């Protein structure tokens, strides 16, 4: 009995030690990420003085993500119209399909799905690029040339992500509405005028559209910063970069979903 | 002006409880090519990082041009680094920039020179390393030796006072090795700079170095001109210089008794 207690206590102690070590690592990483965030803001002047650096990154993160965003938005809009019509017709309000598609996209799906796709497409690319720059000593070379990598590499990518995300989310919502229209009006036969007029009457600029843009801005800051930090913090090995890329997708996705709940709560209450 | 551009005084450096360097003293006179040699993992590259201010010493100090490196703030360290050039082991070229843009990078970032002048300077630097004709290529299109030469052109882009080379001969074919060897010496003399070479390639390093420090077990175990060290009877230096398999640096990593381990009960 004594031996069982001793073994049990030893195992509990080992588990607690492991848990504590993991928590300390996470807190340390949170601190390091916050430090990188403030340094990025501090050294952001260069990104605007030499805007071509930021513009180049907007091309890689924003423009190159357009295809996946537009195709996904189109299908999401079409599915929304199909599902929405299926439910609404039971209550005899199938004309409200336009409002349902628009509100779902502008308030939630536009910012959230765009952020998730952005994390998978642009976020991973940012992490892998910076991780490899670290592995191949390109960041050290920059440091040794008296060029600050945060000002030259991190800040332009950060602002590119922050600028790109709301534009991509807006495009997502627009294309999604178009996809919903194509399914609802020509395919199902909902009245064209009812589709647009109900949408016009019920979608509010401040409560719906502006709030959606605010969400996508916050997601842009979070997703880009996570991708940059993971790349910057990646151990300089192939395995390290691979793990960092995976972490970017996992942490960004969970952060976006968590932040979405928090932001929605505030927006509905206020 | 002091005769030594870089001085290392009683320097100790360690991390994670392990002391990598113990009371190291070195001097790097202006205009000379000085080599730091030693086996893999002896902390040679760390010494370059200490000189460049990328890490702080645990004890002692590194002085560059009379200034204590670790006492400088960020601006001070960057000001010192502007007088240095460094060639990394694998070149560390920026893979998203062409050869031309790689060499132009420090000029565009650190000077206000007009683009016309930058173009001429870049072509002159590339001509010095024999790669003017490759200026439009991307780093992925270069061989290892060519990448190292482009990195060398980038390292000397702003005519530094100190040029540091981290394993400049590693992994190169004999022709490229000869070219790099010749370039290090000729660029040093043409620029009037001081070169610090970290290497374990004895033949090439001895050919161009004016003075050599041997680092082992965290200490400077021997120093002198290449001729002195070739004649040295110190066991470590003799083993290293003549490439002997066994000696003070054992062939075998410390392990349990061979026979006992083979006949021990099998467990991993």
Structural tokens at position B113:
């020179």
Å from B89 to nearest chain A CA? 9
Could you tell me the residue ranges of all domains in chain A?
43-269
CB contact under 8 A, B95 and A141: no
Do residues B197 and B148 lie in contact, with contact meaning Cβ atoms separated by under 8 Å? no
Mutation site for A-interface testing, chosen from B46, B86, B97, B109 by largest number of A Cβ within 10 Å: B109
Q: How far is A36 from chain B (nearest CA, A)?
A: 16
Q: What is the pLDDT of residue B2?
A: 63
Alpha-carbon span B36 to B57, nearest angstrom: 18
Tens-level pLDDT at each residue, chain B (268 residues): 568 899 999 999 988 778 888 889 999 999 999 999 988 778 888 999 999 999 999 999 999 998 999 999 989 999 999 999 999 988 899 999 999 999 999 999 999 999 999 999 999 999 988 889 999 999 999 988 889 889 989 998 998 999 999 988 887 888 888 888 888 998 899 888 999 999 888 888 998 999 999 888 888 888 999 988 888 888 878 888 777 777 776 667 778 888 888 888 765 5
Q: Which residues of A touch B54 (CB under 8 A)?
A: 140, 143-144
Residues of B in contact with A140 (CB under 8 A): 54, 88, 92
Q: What is the length of chain B? A: 268
Q: Which residue has the tokens 């430090």?
A: A35
CB A222 within 8 A of CB A259: yes
- Number of Cβ within 10 Å of residue B112's Cβ equals 6
Please give the Cα distance from A160 to B105 (Å, whole number).
21
Q: Which member of A141, A146, A148 has the closest CB to residue B92?
A: A141
Rounded Cα distance, B152 and B88, in Å: 9
Q: Enter the ipTM.
A: 0.82
Give the residue from chain A lying closest to B83, CA to CA: A145
- In Å, how far is B52's CA from the nearest CA of chain A? 7
d(CA A117, CA A64): 12
How far lies A192's CA from each of A76, A83, A106, A172, A186, in Å? Answer: 20, 18, 20, 21, 9
Alpha carbons within 13 A on the beta-carbon side of A201:
10
CB contact under 8 A, A145 and B88: no
Rounded Cα–Cα distance for residues A229 and A182 (Å): 41
Cα distance from B248 to chain A (closest Cα, Å)? 32
Give pLDDT, residue A149.
94
- Asked if A147 has any chain B CB less than 8 Å from its own CB, the reply is yes
Contact: B93, A144; criterion CB under 8 Å: no
Nearest to B163 by CA among B126, B145, B188, B189: B188
From chain A, the residues in CB contact with B84 under 8 A are 144
b/e burial code for range A129-168 (CB count within 10 A of at least 16 → b): bbbbbbbbbbbbbbbbbbbbbbbbbbbbbbbbbbbbbbbb
- The number of C-beta contacts closer than 8 angstroms across A and B is 44
Given CB atoms, is A137 within the 8 Å cutoff of chain B? yes
In a 3-state reduction of DSSP, which class is residue A235? coil
Query: Residue B27 pairs with which residues in a beta bridge?
Result: B7
Q: Which ranges of A89-122 does DSSP label H, i.e. alpha helix?
A: 97-103, 110-118
Q: What count of other Cβ atoms lies within 10 Å of the Cβ of residue A58?
A: 20
Inter-chain residue contact A146 with B110, CB threshold 8 Å: yes
Nearest alpha carbon to residue A216 among A145, A267, A147 = A267
Element (H, E) at A52: helix A51-61
CA-CA distance, A164 to A158, in Å (whole number)?
10
Contacts of B77 in chain A (CB under 8 A): 146
Please report which residue ranges of chain B form alpha helices under DSSP H.
44-51, 74-81, 99-110, 115-128, 144-155, 174-191, 202-208, 226-231, 235-241, 258-263
CB contact under 8 A, B54 and A137: no
**Model pLDDT, residue B267:** 57
> Please, what are the domains in chain B?
4-263 (3.40.50.300)
Q: What is the pLDDT of residue B268?
A: 56
- Tell me how far apart the alpha carbons of residues A50 and A155 are, in angstroms, rounded to a whole number: 11
Residues of A within 8 A of B52 (CB-CB) are: 143-144
Q: How far is A176 from chain B (nearest CA, A)?
A: 35
The predicted structure's pLDDT at residue A258: 96
Chain B interface with A: residues with Cβ < 8 Å? 52, 54, 77-79, 81-82, 84, 86, 88-90, 92-95, 105-106, 109-110
Find the helix packing angle between A211-233 and A2-42, rounded to 10°.
Answer: 110
C-alpha distance from A194 to closest chain B C-alpha (Å): 52
pLDDT in tens, chain A (270 residues): 788 888 999 999 999 999 999 999 999 999 999 999 999 999 999 888 889 999 999 999 999 999 999 999 999 999 999 999 989 988 888 889 999 999 999 999 999 999 999 999 999 999 999 999 999 999 999 999 999 999 999 999 999 999 999 999 999 999 999 999 999 999 999 999 999 999 999 999 888 999 999 999 999 999 999 999 999 999 999 999 999 999 999 999 999 999 999 999 999 876
State the nearest Cα–Cα gap between A24 and chain B, in angstroms: 17
CA distance A14 to A104: 47
Of B81, B93, B95, the CB nearest to A145: B81
Does A137 contact B78 at a Cβ distance shorter than 8 Å?
A: no
Q: Cβ contact (<8 Å) for A147 and B110?
A: yes
CB contact (8 A) between residue A144 and residue B78: no
A48: its two tokens: 């605007």
């Amino acid at each position: 009995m004594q031996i069982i207690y001793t073994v049990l206590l030893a195992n509990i102690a080992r588990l607690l030690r492991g848990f504590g070590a993991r928590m300390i690592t996470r807190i340390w990483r949170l601190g390091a990420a916050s430090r990188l965030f403030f340094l990025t803001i501090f050294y952001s002047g260069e990104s605007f003085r030499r805007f071509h650096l930021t513009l180049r990154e907007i091309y890689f993160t924003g423009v190159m993500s357009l295809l996946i965003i537009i195709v996904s938005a189109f299908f999401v809009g079409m599915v929304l119209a199909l599902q929405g019509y299926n439910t609404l017709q039971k209550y005899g309000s199938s004309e409200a399909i336009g409002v349902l598609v628009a509100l779902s996209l502008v308030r939630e799906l536009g910012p959230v799905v765009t952020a998730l796709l952005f994390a998978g497409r642009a976020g991973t690319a940012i992490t892998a690029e910076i991780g490899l720059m670290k592995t191949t000593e390109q960041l050290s070379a920059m440091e040794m040339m008296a060029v600050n990598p945060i000002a030259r590499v991190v800040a332009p990518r950060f602002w590119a992500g922050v600028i790109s995300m709301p534009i991509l989310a807006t495009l997502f919502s627009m294309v999604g509405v178009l996809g919903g229209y194509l399914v609802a009006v020509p395919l199902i036969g909902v009245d064209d005028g009812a589709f647009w007029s109900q949408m016009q009457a019920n979608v509010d600029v401040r409560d719906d559209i502006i709030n959606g843009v605010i969400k996508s801005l916050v997601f842009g800051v979070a997703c880009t910063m996570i991708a940059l930090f993971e790349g910057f913090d990646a151990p300089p090995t192939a395995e390290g970069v691979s793990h960092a890329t995976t972490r970017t997708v996992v942490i960004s996705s969970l952060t976006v979903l968590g932040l979405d709940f928090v932001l929605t709560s505030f927006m509905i209450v206020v | 002006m002091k005769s030594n551009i870089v001085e290392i005084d009683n320097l100790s450096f360690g991390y994670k409880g392990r002391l990598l360097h113990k009371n190291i003293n070195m001097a790097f006179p202006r205009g000379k090519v000085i080599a730091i040699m030693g086996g893999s993992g002896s902390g040679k590259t760390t010494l370059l990082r200490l000189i460049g201010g990328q890490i702080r010493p645990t004890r002692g100090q590194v002085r560059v041009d009379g200034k204590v490196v670790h006492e400088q703030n960020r601006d001070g360290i960057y000001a010192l680094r502007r007088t240095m050039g460094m060639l990394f082991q694998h070149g560390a070229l920026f893979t998203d920039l062409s050869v031309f843009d790689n060499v132009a990078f420090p000029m565009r970032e650190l000077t206000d020179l007009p683009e016309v002048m930058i173009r001429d300077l870049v072509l002159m630097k590339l001509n010095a390393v024999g790669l003017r004709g490759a200026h439009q290529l991307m780093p992925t299109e270069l061989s290892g030796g060519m990448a190292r030469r482009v990195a060398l052109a980038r390292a000397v882009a702003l005519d530094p006072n100190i040029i540091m080379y981290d394993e400049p001969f590693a992994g190169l074919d004999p022709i490229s090795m000869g070219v790099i060897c010749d370039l290090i010496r000729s660029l040093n003399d043409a620029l009037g700079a001081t070169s610090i070479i970290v290497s374990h390639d004895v033949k090439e390093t001895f050919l161009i170095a004016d003075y050599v420090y041997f680092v082992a077990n965290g200490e400077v175990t021997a120093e002198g001109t290449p001729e002195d060290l070739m004649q040295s009877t110190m066991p470590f230096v003799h083993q290293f210089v003549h490439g002997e398999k066994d000696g003070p640096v054992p062939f075998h990593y410390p392990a349990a008794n061979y026979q006992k381990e083979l006949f021990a009960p099998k467990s991993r």
